Amino acid sequence: MLWRKVTPYLLLAVCTLIALYALYPASSTTLNEVHDSPSKSLSTEEIYPHVIEKNSSLYVALRKLNVDSLSIQKLVKAAKPENNLARLMPGTRFRLVFEEEPVTSYVDSQEVREEKAKSPVLKEMHILTSTTDVLKIYRLQDQWFTESYQEPVEIEPVTFSGIVQTSLWESADAANMNPELIGQLSEIFAWQIDFAREVRRNDRWRIMVEKKMVRGETVGWGDIRVAEYENEGRSYKAILFEKEGELKGYFSPEGKSLRKMFLKSPIKFARISSRFQRRRFHPILKVNRPHLGVDYAAPIGTPVRAVGAGRVTYAGWRGGGGKTIKIRHNSVYKTAYKHLNGYAKGIRRGKRVEQGQIIGYVGTTGLSTGPHLHFEFFKHGKFVDPLRQEFPSADPIPKKFMAEFQAHSNEVLQALPDWQPVSELSANF
Ligand SMILES: [Zn+2]
């Protein structure tokens, strides 16, 4: 039965290879043309042929290349404000440019030519200080100067697709995809799917992402440009749309933002009677106690709304909080509503609620001096002040960009790879 286990992985590997090599020929061609240069086909090792060896130093490396001590001293000194060359890590690559000595007189004896070859005059040194950063140290007459520049980064769109068998991470692994991209994918759909709790076997995903390359080597990953996630048979699509300086975000094919804003307040026309304070004298307990929420004064029975879509994780009596509702909005945000008089019909643990849905009514249950709603906001499990949270825009695509967005959306959605087949794989279990 081994082949049954191996086949899907082979399939994934093949698909990934196809994705890596056969993708988006039109766009790669354009990029190649833009960055075309004689050095284009050369690898990093060919462009930067010298390397600082293990347990060695730049000085030793340069002396081996016949650079004279005085030049080394001068260039190290010149580079000092930018980079301490004495501390370059082994493995650092560099290249040298030598200057031809001006011919002062017509001498062409064997000795003179040998002498020249022994001590070539260094003109420039280019050190690759990271995958993309280059420090250039160069000489003009007897003075040394420095200049920083970057190796051109090429962006190549590539696609991946996966199917969940045990976890999202495992599906990335099976697709030979960098797991950091799963983090990016789960952030894109954070408002649509609770990736900590709602991922199911046979959920499927497919993406097109920007691969960053320097001289043919992958140096990192850019934005996911388009993604689709199928959760329990429901499909969610995300299209990245960017207008320099104006907007950048993920949108549904209809142009709606995938982000959702929270309502400004869980109560319409409420008056804030107590703000979020790390230190406050508690009116009933008569001790200093932080007030880790916002109080809204309102008459008993005033409807309380969920500030965002999510799932009810608690609906019941909770000590000093009295009748309490807690909602988990996604893997980052949770809210809590306390001192309620009662719960709206159908509100119980596990129930899904929409943004703005009435979940309960203002009361004064638990430790409370009068009718009010105590509202709490949690980010990554910690109390935060809801009135001080800044959320990115959740506006839809503006009308003026709609036509352009739709053309773009159609194009990138077609570039997504085929789904991984579900039936074959699930037969294994
Ligand atoms: Zn309160």
Span from the CA of 118 to the centroid of ligand 1 (angstroms): 82
State residue 33's pLDDT score: 35
pLDDT band at 357 (very low <50, low <70, confident <90, very high): very high
- Cβ-contact 107, 115 below 8 angstroms: no
Does residue 280 form part of some domain? Answer: yes
Handedness of CA 310, 311, 312, 313 (dihedral sign): negative
Does residue 187 form part of some domain? Answer: yes
Residues 95, 160: one domain? no
Average pLDDT for residues 26-50, to the nearest whole number? 58
CATH of the domain at 174: 3.10.450.350
Span from the CA of 229 to the centroid of ligand 1 (angstroms): 39
Residues 144, 169: one domain? no
Does residue 205 form part of some domain? Answer: yes
Give 214-265 pLDDT, tens digit per residue: 888 888 999 999 999 999 889 999 999 999 888 899 999 999 999 888 888 8
Inform me whether the pLDDT recorded for 372 exceeds 60: yes
Span from the CA of 287 to the centroid of ligand 1 (angstroms): 15
Average pLDDT for residues 76-91, to the nearest whole number? 91
- Cβ-contact 162, 420 below 8 angstroms: yes
pLDDT band at 74 (very low <50, low <70, confident <90, very high): very high
Span from the CA of 375 to the centroid of ligand 1 (angstroms): 7
Q: Report the alpha-carbon distance of residue 153 to residue 176 in Å, rounded.
A: 22
CATH of the domain at 346: 2.70.70.10
Does residue 298 form part of some domain? Answer: yes
State residue 121's pLDDT score: 86
Name which residue leads in pLDDT, 76 or 281. Answer: 76
State residue 404's pLDDT score: 97
In the listed set 150, 179, 201, which residue is the last one of a domain according to the structure? 150
Span from the CA of 305 to the centroid of ligand 1 (angstroms): 17
Strands (E), 286-357: 294-297, 303-305, 310-317, 323-328, 333-343, 352-353
pLDDT band at 109 (very low <50, low <70, confident <90, very high): low
Residues 19, 160: one domain? yes
Residues 101, 65: one domain? yes
Residues 323, 181: one domain? no
SS3 259: coil
Q: Report the alpha-carbon distance of residue 388 to residue 367 in Å, rounded.
A: 26
* Beta-carbon count within 10 A of 336 CB: 20
* Interstrand relation of 217-231 and 234-243 (parallel, antiparallel or unpaired): antiparallel
pLDDT band at 284 (very low <50, low <70, confident <90, very high): confident
Give 300-339 pLDDT, tens digit per residue: 999 999 999 899 999 999 999 999 999 999 888 999 999 9
Give 162-180 pLDDT, tens digit per residue: 999 999 999 999 999 998 8
Give 136-160 pLDDT, tens digit per residue: 999 998 899 999 999 999 999 999 9
SS3 411: helix
Name which residue leads in pLDDT, 423 or 384. Answer: 384
DSSP for 126-182 reads EEE-SSSEEEEEEEETTEEEEEEEEPPPEEEEEEEEEE-SS-HHHHHHHTT--THHH
Q: How many domains does the chain have?
A: 3
**For ion ligand 1, residues whose CB falls within 5 Å:** 293, 295, 374
Continuous H helices in 154-313: 168-174, 180-188
Residues 279, 355: one domain? yes
State residue 131's pLDDT score: 86
Residues 341, 196: one domain? no
- Cβ-contact 236, 186 below 8 angstroms: no
Residues 202, 116: one domain? no
Residues 116, 224: one domain? no
Residue 226 belongs to domain spanning: 2-27+154-259+417-426
Q: Which of 303, 395, 317 is nearest to 349 (CA)?
A: 317
Average pLDDT for residues 342-350, to the nearest whole number? 96
Q: Report the alpha-carbon distance of residue 404 to residue 277 in Å, rounded.
A: 47
Q: Which of 100-104, 105-109, 206-210, 291-295 is the most confident on average?
A: 206-210
pLDDT band at 12 (very low <50, low <70, confident <90, very high): very low
Does residue 421 form part of some domain? Answer: yes
Continuous H helices in 268-388: none
Span from the CA of 364 to the centroid of ligand 1 (angstroms): 11
Residues 52, 142: one domain? yes
